[in-house]
Amino acid sequence: MHLANKRMMELQQLLEKQVIAAVKELFNAELPGVEFQPTRKDFEGDVTVVVFPMLRVVKGNPVEIGSKIGEYLTEHVTEVVKFNVVKGFLNLVVSNSYYLDFFNTIVANPTFGYADSSSKDAVMVEYSSPNTNKPLHLGHIRNNLLGYSVAEILKAAGHKVYKTQIINDRGIHICKSMLAWQKFGEEETPESSGLKGDHLVGKYYVAFDKEYKAQIQQLITTGKDKDTAAKEAPILLEAQEMLRKWEAGDKGVVSLWTKMNGWVYKGFDTTYKNLGVDFDKLYYESDTYLLGRDVVQDGLDKGVFFKKEDGSVWIDLTDEGLDEKIVLRSDGTAVYMTQDIGTAIQRVSDFSDINGMVYTVGNEQDYHFKVLFLILKKLGFTWAEKLHHLSYGMVDLPSGKMKSREGTVVDADDLMDNMTNTAATISEELGKLEGYSKEEKQSLYKMIGLGALKYYILKVDPKKRILFNPEESVDFQGNTGPFIQYTYARIQSILRKAQPIENEKVPASLELHEKEKELLKQLEVFPIKIEEAAAAYSPALIANYTYDLVKEFNSFYQQVSILGETDGDIKNFRVLLSKKVAEVIKNAFRLLGVQMPERM
């Protein structure tokens, strides 16, 4: 447990013990427990005891009951210096020395908030997992940002984490791109075209769809109905034949597949680097699509699966409120569920210390993962209890939905470039970067643009759908990445102007301004927010905590003097407090994958 968490828990345990003792002594009643909550900002206090639940065992006026308990606590608990009662709420004022003691324990700890490394179970987090027939798009960006951030939050909470993805590099989709390149590509390459490899392959995926639609229309004019035309279009039949050849190991097809996938992998790597995400292990569907078939036989032997008359193998999940699910076709070939079962087992074999997996996949796959996790539990794998589907909503733009087959997706590379350009335009209009060199400006525009993109997406609960507005995300006011980056840079400016402080220990006798105390209270909950975010798999909790911390700092900055303070101890404390706030902002944003500028 982190030191700050421990101190807060010890204080709450002490208060609970003393409230129970007070009720016993004052009212001769036994309290089963005490309900606490943070004191509302419009009242004086730090911790609030909720009196209303006590009325079940203590009869009387809640204000009178609260007042008597408050008097008892100020007499028996040194940390409680004052109290007030508002209706059924007993607001306790905690001593300055408690908060200054807390500050002295964290002031020299640059990783305050993070738990001990690898103190908890190892977890594997899967994210990205794209198809190799097109470049990454806006939907992939939300996936990557969520997966990467959750992995970093789990690490900060003490887990050992392995980041992975499974690349969908086989199947009819890649054959469509391959066939279209054969037909229309004229040996075009990334080098000859000047296109990133994933963009080039995506171009031919769109070209396939265009030709496919044209052939369907042509067949309809000859008298075929639409469904028949869609199945009999010659270019689709050729793609299906190409897939059969690939599965049979045809050298020519495999060679073309290797070449075009190589282009895509190189393109993906560039996008991942620019986005700031990484992986510890890559899995490829071309290697895993045969996994899981041997598990089916084991499941049949255990009675988990059953075989139908046509030889296909199924599982009956109707007792669990689901339906029957096929795990092996009648011809013995696997379905996606079979492959996912096999891949999960393979991962535990590859990383024997993992005791849980997080799958970052859109909410359209909610049912699939319910079934997958249930099957793995029924097969007897104990680690299946710790599988989690990090389900997330779609990302829309003001212009509407995206369609990859028609080439109307919002490309990830283009979006990142546009965010940098948007940041440049707004920064120039605000005149915030006077005196910067061209190179410094460009680096800062990218940092602001990517910070805006990441924060805008991650501040929203993963389950919610997002309407992404690039201009709104780069606002320097409000709940945005640039606003928080600007505050961080403002603190760095203060620290550059401040004199070096030799002794970072703050005198326990220092009188705290209410704004200093509010900041310390906000800092104190940072480790708890990391624990909550890890438990909920929600970067939004970290993002919005950071915004609250920044708002609190800006209020402090406006109401107290820092460098202009004449009392040396108070001035040093305020400089050190500002420095700690900046460290926490930076550490919190690192969990979101956002970099912080030293100047803005």
Once rounded to an integer, what is the mean pLDDT over residues 236-255? Answer: 96
How many other CB atoms are there within 10 angstroms of residue 571's CB atom?
18
pLDDT digits (tens, 9 = 90+) for 437-467: 889 999 999 999 999 999 999 999 999 999 8
Within the chain, what is the greatest distance between any pair of CA atoms? 95
- In this prediction the pTM is 0.92
| 436: pLDDT strictly greater than 90 | no
Query: What DSSP string describes 219-239?
Result: HHHTT--HHHHHHH-HHHHHH
Place of tokens 């096999």: 342
> What confidence tens digit (pLDDT) does each residue in 97-128 have?
999 999 999 999 999 999 988 789 999 999 99
Q: Report the percentage of the chain scoring pLDDT > 70.
A: 97
C-beta atoms surrounding 473 within 10 Å: 22
Torsion sign (Cα): 26, 29, 35, 41: negative
pLDDT for res 7: 78
* Reported confidence tier of residue 5, pLDDT bands at 50, 70, 90: low
Rounded to an integer, what distance in angstroms lies between the CA atom of residue 37 and that of residue 39?
A: 6
Write the secondary structure of 395-438 as one string of H (helix), E (strand) and C (coil).
EEECCECCCCCCCCCCEHHHHHHHHHHHHHHHHHHHCCCCCCCH
* Residue % of the chain over a pLDDT of 90: 85
pLDDT at 499: 87
How many angstroms separate the CA atoms of 190 and 575, rounded?
Answer: 53
Q: At what angle do helices 539-559 and 438-458 cross, to 10 degrees?
A: 120
490, 563 contact by CB (below 8 A)? no
> What is the spatial distance between Cα 231 and Cα 103, in angstroms, rounded to a whole number?
70
Residue reference for tokens 């900055």: 557
pLDDT at residue 403 is higher than 60: no
Q: How confident is the model at residue 404 (pLDDT cuts 50, 70, 90)?
A: very low
Q: Across all residues in the chain, what is the average pLDDT?
A: 93
| CA angle centred on 47, ends 45 and 51, rounded to 5° | 105
What is the arithmetic mean of pLDDT over 535-563? 97
Which tens digit of pLDDT belongs to each residue from 487-522?
999 999 999 999 888 888 999 889 999 999 999 999
DSSP state of 538: -
Residues 547-558, mean pLDDT to the nearest whole number: 97
Positive or negative, the CA dihedral 457, 460, 464, 469 is negative
What pLDDT, in 10s, does the model give residues 313-346? 999 999 999 999 999 999 888 899 999 999 999 9
CB atoms within 10 A of CB 583: 20
Q: What is the pLDDT of residue 233?
A: 97
Q: Which domains are seen in the chain, by residue range? A: 3-94 (3.30.1360.70), 171-287 (no CATH), 410-591 (1.10.730.10)
Is the Cα dihedral 472, 474, 475, 481 positive or negative?
Answer: positive
Q: Is 272 left (phi over 0), alpha (psi -120 to 50) or beta?
A: alpha
Q: Which residues pair with 163 in a beta bridge?
A: 125
Q: Of the candidates 451, 445, 521, 446, which has an alpha carbon nearest to the alpha carbon of residue 482? A: 451
Amino acid at 116: D
Q: Taking 80 as the threshold, does the pLDDT of residue 132 lie above it?
A: yes
So what's the pLDDT on residue 407? 45
Contacts of residue 11, defined as CB under 8 A and 6 or more positions apart, other chains included, come to 47, 79, 94, 98
> pLDDT tier at 158 (50, 70, 90 boundaries)?
very high
User: What pLDDT band is residue 573 in, cutting at 50, 70 and 90?
Assistant: very high
CA within 13 Å, CB half, 519: 29
Higher-confidence residue of 116 and 481: namely 481
Long-range contacts (CB closer than 8 Å, 24 or more residues apart) made by 420-425: 420/445, 420/446, 420/449, 420/450, 421/445, 421/449, 422/449, 422/452, 422/470, 422/471, 422/474, 423/448, 423/449, 423/452, 423/474, 423/482, 424/449
DSSP 503: -
CA distance 489 to 447: 12
